[in-house]
Structure formats: structure tokens, C-alpha cells
Structure 1
Amino acid sequence: MFTRAWIRWLLLHGLLRSYLLWSARRGDPLGQIAFGQDRLLGSSRYIEEIRQRGRIPRMSGAWVTADHELCRLILRDRRFGVVSPNHPAMPKLLRWVLAKTDPGLPNLGEPPSMLVTDPPDHTRYRRLVRQVFSPKAIATLEERVVEVTDDLLERLESKPRPDLIGDFSAQLPVAIIAEVLGLPADMHSTLLKWGDTGAPLLERGLTWTTYRHAIEDLAEVKRYFDHHFDELTAEPGDDVLSMLVTGGELTRREQVANAALLLDAGFLTTVNMLGNGIALLTSHPEQLDLLAAQPELWPGAVEEILRYDCPVRMTGRLANCDVDIADQHIKSGSLVLLSLAGANHDPAVFPDPERFDVTRANAAEHVSFSGGIHSCLGARLARMEGAVSLRALFERYPDLRLDGPPIPYPLINLHAYRSMPAKLPAG
């Protein structure tokens, strides 16, 4: 088992990590970000480097774009597929070795997770669960979100130095998605631990230690959901996971993989959005003053938070065929990297993009939730949770201040905070 895991890490992460280190020494911007001080793919330096080279230049062995129009186009274009170890563009030998070393774990970044699966399989998976995240379904959850938020804010009063990530931003979305999936409340801390170690698997170039810890937790996730689906098969309920069982279309592995995805899609993005939002709003008190005077602006403020500081900085696509786009000929099998952070700061779409403005009229045109058939399933839920909980937090504690700089996750593509100590004067 150890040898297979190490070979899999080497092929999916280790070789890329070595390449990025080599390219950093040669002055390549992507490599320098991976191993330098400025470690975010959404950094203004990296985005500017892309823009200076054109709308979709060739960099680091891939096509890269920070152009809003091109990102939206490619995300919706069926001539491009998700980056997956199973994609036909991958070398046959690589696909063979990966198939032989596949541990069958519910890895978010590998099939049969719908995140990295194209039609027709993706269509089967999404059809079974999309109604749970429909506008009507989200509207019915809003009252519960208000209740959970109020309870969390009450608890904060007893904490002299609360952590706004661990004590608030993480607790709300995990409580809501656990209820939607039919998982017990005593699982919340375990679910958060699984999300914490599993999130890095959405990146590439991980260290062996990070990868090993993540797959160890995935083995625990698999054991839990295997047992849970056995129980649901015998006695299904009216929750989402029961739908995966009673739908009759999925194998057990597909059930477990997409249960893990629904869990993480239901809270990871929201945790990161809330943390990023608190950091932005506390550092822009004039924007908080606007929201206090005009609370109807809160939904737009959430869109601006997502635009200005999106949790996922970049995504990728593989060309399924030869494609001519923006005066470039992209050959079949080529990797195209889409800078979501760059698209969200495209001055052609968002005037003065480096200005954080909760009144920005077109903030919702951001691409932070991806687009096309792979747009984030939990986007509506995240938006609603953000508007409800951030408004309640700052109305309850209008003088909220951070107690020192927040501590970010040491990741390249995912921008989020691990901890955010705060001071909460009585409000």
C-alpha cells in the first residue's frame, strides 16, 4: 500500500513539484510563486505577468489566461474537458500506472468525483443531487441558517479571544451541510478535520507528507461512508445521501466519492469566503459603514468579496480537440490554465479592479464559482449563508476587530485562513 501511494504521489505531485522548483530557479513566474515569498496564483504580480504577455500566452508549458471573457468562454466550451488522470490526453503509460495504483479513495481531485468528471458520467452524478441546491431548496434553509448563526454569535460572547474561523466561519456551513446530508451533529468536528486535510488534494505539487496525511484521512472517510451507505441501503431517509442510494444509478464507489464532494462543496467554499470576507471588511471600515447604513447591500457585498478575493485562484482545462481561440492555435491535449483571480480583476470588466467596493454594480459577474456544467453546486447556498451570517456578525459586533494578522493556509491555489483571532467588544 505504501509503495503504491508513493508512486501515485510521484506521478501526480512529485514530478510536477520538481519541475516547478527547476523552473523557479530559471526565473519562470509560476515556479517562483510556488517556491517564493508570494505564494498565491492570484497575486497581482503573477496576474500582471500574464496580462503583459497577451490574452492567452504560453507559460510554464501551458496556455494561461487572466482574461475574463476567455475564462468564461473556456469554462463553458465543451471542446475543453476537466483535468483528470483519466483524460484521453494523458499518456497511456501514466493512465495505466495510475489505474494500477488507484486505492479507491474518495479523492475530490480524482474520478469519480463529479468535480473532475465530464459527461456522460458527470451528468448522471449531478442530476441526482441538483434539486437539493435549487433556489427553492436554498430558500427553505434560510431560516435554519439564521438560527445557527444566532446560536454561534451567542457562544462567541463567552470567548475572550475567539477564533473567527474555528468558532464561527467553519461552524455555520458544516452544521448546515451536515443536516442537508443527514449526518449527525456529533460528526461536525470530524467533518471539519476531513475537510482540512483533504482540501490540499485540489492542488498539484504537494509534498509527500501533505499527500500522505490527506489519503490517510480519505481512508477514514471511505470507511465511514461505506458503513453509512450500508445503513441507508437497508433504511433510506429523505436526505441527499439517501437520494444517491435510491437513485439506483451509482456504484458504491461513485456514491462515496460524490458524498465526500457534496460534503466539501457544501462547506469548504463558504468557510473560506466568510474568512476572506471578515478580513476584507475589517480592513475596510468605510465599507462596513455603508453596509450598516444600507443593509440591503449585503448580497452585493458577498459578490464583491468573492470577486475581490476568490477562494480558488486558478483552475485548468484540457483541450479535447484542436481549438483556435484569441488568435492562438491550441492543440488537442494541451493544458489551459484559467486565472479566476485574474479574470475577477480584469479592468476591461471591473473598473478600478483593485478597489474593494460593496456597491460595485457588476460584482456578480465574477467567475469564483467556475462556470458551465462544472459551476459550483453549492454556490447558491454559499451566497445565502454569506449574506445572512456576515450581516448578523457585524450587526451584533459593530466594533469587531482582528487581534493580530490572520493566519493563512500555506497553499498556492486555495486562498483561505486557518485562524483569525479577534476582539469582540459588546455590541
Structure 2
Amino acid sequence: MKPQYWFRWFSVQGLPRLVLRTQARRGQPFAQLMGGPQGFTDPYPLIEQLRGQGRLVRTPIAWASADHELIRAILRDPRFGVRANQSFDLPAPLQRFVERYPLPPNPVEPPSMLVIDPPDHTKMRRPVAAAFTPRAIRRLRERVETVTEELLEELPSGGSADLIAAFAAQVPIAIISEMLGFPREDKGMFLAWGDAATPLLDIGISRKAHRTALDAMEVMNDYLDGHIERLRREPGEDILSSLVTAGELDTYGLKATASLLMGAGFETTVNLIGNGVVQLLSHPDQLARLRAEPELWPNAVEEVLRIDAPVQTTARSALEDVEIAGIRLRKGNTVVVSLAGANRDPGVFEDPTRFDVGRENAKDHLTFSSGVHVCLGASLARMEATYALRALFDRFPDLQLAGPPQRRKLFTLHGYEQLPVRLGTRAHTPATSAV
């Protein structure tokens, strides 16, 4: 590891890791949530402990909230802005060092849309938004259906499979690869890069995970250099070609945008499909209801997004002195907002731990955030997951778990690493789209 990268890890991840682990040993719920194994496997009891401490709670590294009303207000309040993980309470000399040695273009540092505010955010988001309009999503629907059906045909009738590797990961990576003009044969590389780089969204990751992520990003950076040059010579009809020919973003900005779209267009949907399979297999009464009332499939996806959010948390920083929930926050104070906690707020959702595919206000969840940073690809993720889940259960009506699903050792992105199933006999009738 380059010396500056080691120092970055120590500044950005090592110090928070030490604080979180120390506080976790003392029983601090937020620290246990962010830095311990329970935060990966079953974060919800810890979130409820945090909720019990108040609407806005001071923690070892930031303020935190699991309150739906308060979180929604913060996400929509222009007095709060986004910030990258490395900004958490770093002393000024360390912050200057971090800014002096940026990482290769990636989703967690500027100019990624994820961590910049208007007007820079508006400049980066505007040229990308055309790829995610309702009309554009409708055009992608046929391709999603084709990819899904091809993958289902490849699954062994009467056999077993890991549904993450064989299905849930393959649907979104195929679509986002085509949207960015990547050759189909390169999909395997993107899966590996995604697995390596996503820990950077967490706080307090190990030095090994940090080094693996940086190694993957440097390889991806070289790949994107070559891919963008090819698109400059021979642009296609994909979104990245449009950005290249428009000339609004420099190469660094193009690579940051491409890496963000790769991550956001893939990781969230993988988790959503996997979480949906487990929820439905764990609640056979709800699966039976969907078979009797297939028009509920879109709402079932909203309920999966609510009850087991594939994105668990985000953060906002006060851009000025602000008073919220009766507490005065100073400029620069960070609030970690638990989207998963907001989604289970009993003040908004009746019997919030119950999985109900017919829940009338399921769509009031905050999994895709809110305000100017609401997820650009939310409609695409919904469409992909709705069709993929319905098609899977239509094609394999006797699908069962073949062993305990294995959670990913991540906090921010919440999903399964492995999902072993017995498929049962394949039904002959293709699924009928409900989206």
C-alpha cells in the first residue's frame, strides 16, 4: 500500500474504528451498530435501542437519529449537506492531508454526486438524469424481462443454486453494463470490483479491506481510462457515450460518475432482490397472497425496501448553525440518519416489524433517501426487482432455502453474500410482467 493510502486509512477509518470498537465494548448501541457483527447480521434491535434514547442522539462520532419525521426533514433541508466518510470529525491537519491525496475516482469522494451539494451536484446530476426518466425506464423494461428470463432458463430445474451469484447479481449488472456501454464479457470484473469497493461506504473498516478496495479502484480506474477513450472515438447509444460527447464533464468527472452508476445501479438491486427472496420464503402466507393477488407485486417490493432496507444509513452535515428536535447543532456537526430505523418507526408504520405485502403506506419508506439526493435509479431498481422476484417465484413455485443465508459483512449496504436454495421443478409458463 502506498504510504499516503496507509495514512488515509489511519485518518479516515483507523481512528473511527478504534473509537467504535472501544465504545461497542462498553455497550454503546450506535457503536455496536456501526462497528460490530450484529450491525451486519441483525441491526434492528440496536436501532430500536438507539430510538429509545431519543429523536436525536449524541454518539461517539456524530449525532444520530432513527426518527422518520426528523430524518425526512433533514434530508430535505437545504441547511444540511452531504459529506464523505472521511470528514467525520477529523482534525484540520488530517483533513488537509486527506484532501491533498485523493483516491482514484470513486463513489465516496468528490466529484461523485453522492458527496457533493448544489450547485455542483446539480451540474453532475443533470446530464445523467435523462437515462432514468419514466420513458427511459419503460424502454429498459423489455431488456430487463429478457435478461431475467434468460437467467431463469439457465438455473437447473430440480437442482440447487446460490441465488445471489446465479441470479440476483446477474440481473442488475447486465442492465447497468449495457447502460454504460461495457462489453458483456467484462461483467465478471465489475462484480469483483463492486465486492471489493463497497466497504468504503462503511465507517471503521479494516486496513485489509481498505487496501483491497483501493487495489480494485486503481484497476477500475485504468479500465475506465481505456473505455472512455474508446467511446470518444466510437460513441454508442449508452449513457456514458452521451456524457462523453456532451463534453460537460472532464475525464475525472466521467470516471467518478461511471463508478457511482456502477455501484448504485448494481449493489442496491442485488441486495433488494436477495432480501426479497428471503422475506417471501420466510413468510409463506405473504407469498401465497401474491400468487392470489399478483397485482400486489409492486407494493411487495416497497415493503421489502421498508422492512429490510438494502441501504441502511446515510449522513448529513449542518451547513450552518441549526436547531432541530430542540437541539442546537453547530455548523459542521454530522447527523447519521438511520434509513432502516425510519422505515420501522412505529409512529408512521403500524406494527412495523410485520412483513405485509398489502401495507397501504409501504411506499413511505426512506430507503432511497429524499430531497435533492433522492436515488436517481430508484425507479429502475423497483422495476428490476419487481419483475425478477415475480418471475423467479412463477418459474420455480417450489423454491426453498437450502441452508442459512449468509449476510454480507457490511453495514451501509445490507444484503446477502450467499443465498443457497433448492429450486424445485421449473414451471413451463413464463412469468407475466406486473410492472
Residue 55 (structure 1) shift: 1.3
Residue identity matched to 2:391: A
Query: 1:343 corresponds to which residue?
Result: 342
On the 8 A contact 1:281/1:287 being kept in 2, the answer is yes
Q: Name which of structure 1's ranges 231-240 and 26-35 shifts more when overlaid on structure 2.
A: 26-35
Identity of aligned residues (%): 49
Query: 1:384 corresponds to which residue?
Result: 383
Residue 176 (structure 1) shift: 0.9
Query: 1:101 corresponds to which residue?
Result: 101
Query: 1:304 corresponds to which residue?
Result: 303
Residue identity matched to 2:67: D
Residue 35 (structure 1) shift: 5.0
Residue 107 (structure 1) shift: 2.2
Residue 64 (structure 1) shift: 1.3
Residue 411 (structure 1) shift: 1.7
Change (3 A) 1:42 1:307: farther
- Whole-Å separation in 1 of the counterparts to 2:61 and 2:95: 20
Report the 3-state secondary structure (helix = DSSP H, G, I; strand = E; otherwise coil) of the residue aligned with 2:8: helix
CA offsets 1:328-383 (integer angstroms, 9 cap, x no match): 11111111010111100001110000000000011011000111111111110000
Q: Name which of structure 1's ranges 226-235 and 64-73 shifts more when overlaid on structure 2.
A: 226-235
Matches within 5 A, 1:218-237: 218-237=217-236
Query: 1:286 corresponds to which residue?
Result: 285
Query: 1:193 corresponds to which residue?
Result: 192
Residue 222 (structure 1) shift: 0.4
Q: Name which of structure 1's ranges 80-89 and 200-209 shifts more when overlaid on structure 2.
A: 80-89
- Whole-Å separation in 1 of the counterparts to 2:10 and 2:87: 18
In structure 2, list runs of 5 or more residues that go unmatched.
Answer: 428-435
Query: 1:133 corresponds to which residue?
Result: 132
On the 8 A contact 1:106/1:221 being kept in 2, the answer is no
Report the 3-state secondary structure (helix = DSSP H, G, I; strand = E; otherwise coil) of the residue aligned with 1:38: helix
Q: Name which of structure 1's ranges 239-248 and 252-261 shifts more when overlaid on structure 2.
A: 239-248
Matches within 5 A, 1:261-272: 261-272=260-271
Residue identity matched to 1:230: E
User: What is the TM-score of this pair, normalised by structure 1?
Assistant: 0.96
Residue identity matched to 1:294: E
Residue 102 (structure 1) shift: 2.0
Corresponding pairs, count: 426
Residue 90 (structure 1) shift: 5.8
Change (3 A) 1:161 1:253: same
Change (3 A) 1:21 1:328: same
Residue 113 (structure 1) shift: 1.1
Residue 84 (structure 1) shift: 2.4
On the 8 A contact 2:158/2:422 being kept in 1, the answer is no
Change (3 A) 1:36 1:90: closer
Query: 2:254 corresponds to which residue?
Result: 255
CA offsets 1:193-239 (integer angstroms, 9 cap, x no match): 11111111111111000010011010011001111111112232221
Query: 1:117 corresponds to which residue?
Result: 116
- Whole-Å separation in 1 of the counterparts to 2:370 and 2:57: 21
Change (3 A) 1:234 1:35: closer
On the 8 A contact 1:90/1:333 being kept in 2, the answer is no
On the 8 A contact 2:21/2:36 being kept in 1, the answer is no
Query: 2:313 corresponds to which residue?
Result: 314
Query: 1:145 corresponds to which residue?
Result: 144
- Whole-Å separation in 1 of the counterparts to 2:87 and 2:209: 25
Report the 3-state secondary structure (helix = DSSP H, G, I; strand = E; otherwise coil) of the residue aligned with 2:253: helix
Change (3 A) 1:252 1:191: same
- Whole-Å separation in 2 of the counterparts to 1:83 and 1:353: 30
Report the 3-state secondary structure (helix = DSSP H, G, I; strand = E; otherwise coil) of the residue aligned with 1:39: helix
- Whole-Å separation in 2 of the counterparts to 1:256 and 1:93: 28
User: What is the TM-score of this pair, normalised by structure 2?
Assistant: 0.94
Query: 1:66 corresponds to which residue?
Result: 66
Matches within 5 A, 1:79-98: 79-84=79-84, 91-98=91-98
Query: 1:324 corresponds to which residue?
Result: 323
On the 8 A contact 1:41/1:314 being kept in 2, the answer is no
- Whole-Å separation in 2 of the counterparts to 1:375 and 1:196: 24
